[in-house]
């Protein structure tokens, strides 16, 4: 496996991290739309989305037979597939890649599950270093309120029920997220994560994110927007 962490690619990679409910997907979607509207070539890749391991992951989760190690290895396989198919090719082609969760998610979650920190870091040695790795920092209670008010159900592994922290799923989720938060905090200095105050209103955060991104993409090419023939006939209000 190639080591990419110190290699430079002409494209730019922006990643978002934070506990569940920190607002990272909201911010990345807004950034994505804006970059596209500006005319940049933008690609998106999401944690745990590779078709390669989908069936295995689903089976393991449904039957609740995943151990911290097998869970970690499945995610690493998912990531290896996406880095080779979805992340490196656009980076080589001078495009922008946006990743919703990156290796730091593995470092936070797997270590919270009891996996050895240096083992999991070594496992992901083939990752590309992000241009900017945003970390959406939010107190646990703020994130929990957002999650619990917007979602009907929390899933078994998402709540860390496999760790036996509590038989109550909400309590387990809280304890698991707390452990993850501790791991993220350690990584701010270790990896130079770019911290965003995720308690701020959505627009304020987005403004900061764009200010940081725009400085890094100056040399990238913008493409003219495709001419939409039918737009000239669109009804004017």
Ligand X SMILES: Nc1ncnc2c1ncn2[C@@H]1O[C@H](COP(=O)(O)OP(=O)(O)O)[C@@H](O)[C@H]1O
Footprint of ligand X on this chain (CB under 6 A)? Answer: 18, 20-26, 146, 150, 201-202, 205
Residues 6+ apart with CB under 8 A from 237: none
Measured from the CB of residue 134, what is the shortest distance to Mg ion in angstroms?
Answer: 13
The one of Mg ion, ligand X, none whose footprint includes residue 21, by CB under 5 to 8 A per kind, is ligand X
Minimum separation from the CB atom of position 105 to ligand X (A)? 11
DSSP letter at 195 equals: E
CB 140 within 8 A of CB 181: yes
Residues 27 and 136 sit within 8 Å (Cβ to Cβ): yes
d(CA 206, CA 227): 28
Shortest Cβ contact with ligand X: which residue? 23
CA distances from residue 31 to 21, 42, 150, 189, 206 in whole angstroms, order as listed: 18, 10, 22, 25, 7
Q: Which is nearer to ligand X, 50 or 206 (CB)?
A: 206
Nearest CB to ligand X, comparing residues 74 and 143 = 143
Residue closest to Mg ion, measured at CB: 25
By three-state DSSP, how is residue 173 classified? helix
Binding residues for Mg ion, per CB under 5 A? 25
Q: Which is nearer to Mg ion, 99 or 187 (CB)?
A: 99
Q: Taking the complex as a whole, how short is the minimal distance between the CB of residue 24 and Mg ion, in angstroms?
A: 6
């Amino acid at each position: 496996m190639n080591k990419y962490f110190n290699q430079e690619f002409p494209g730019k990679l922006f990643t978002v991290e934070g506990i569940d409910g920190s607002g990272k997907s909201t911010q990345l979607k807004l950034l994505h739309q804006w970059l596209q509207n500006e005319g940049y070539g933008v690609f998106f890749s999401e944690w745990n989305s590779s078709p390669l391991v989908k069936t295995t992951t689903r089976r393991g989760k449904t039957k609740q037979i995943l151990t911290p190690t097998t869970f970690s290895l499945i995610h690493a396989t998912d990531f290896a597939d996406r880095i080779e198919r979805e992340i490196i090719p656009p980076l080589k082609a001078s495009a922008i890649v946006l990743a919703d969760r990156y290796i730091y998610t593995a470092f936070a979650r797997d270590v919270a599950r009891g996996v050895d920190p240096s083992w999991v870091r070594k496992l992901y040695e083939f990752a590309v270093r992000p241009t900017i790795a945003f970390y959406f920092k939010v107190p646990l209670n703020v994130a929990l309120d957002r999650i619990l008010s917007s979602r009907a159900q929390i899933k078994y592994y998402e709540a860390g029920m496999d760790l036996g922290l509590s038989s109550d799923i909400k309590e387990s989720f809280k304890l698991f997220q707390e452990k993850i938060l501790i791991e993220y905090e350690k990584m701010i200095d270790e990896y130079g994560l770019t911290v965003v105050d995720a308690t701020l209103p959505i627009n304020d955060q987005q403004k900061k994110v764009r200010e940081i991104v725009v400085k890094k993409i100056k040399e990238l090419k913008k493409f003219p927007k495709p001419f939409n023939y039918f737009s000239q006939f669109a009804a004017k209000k």
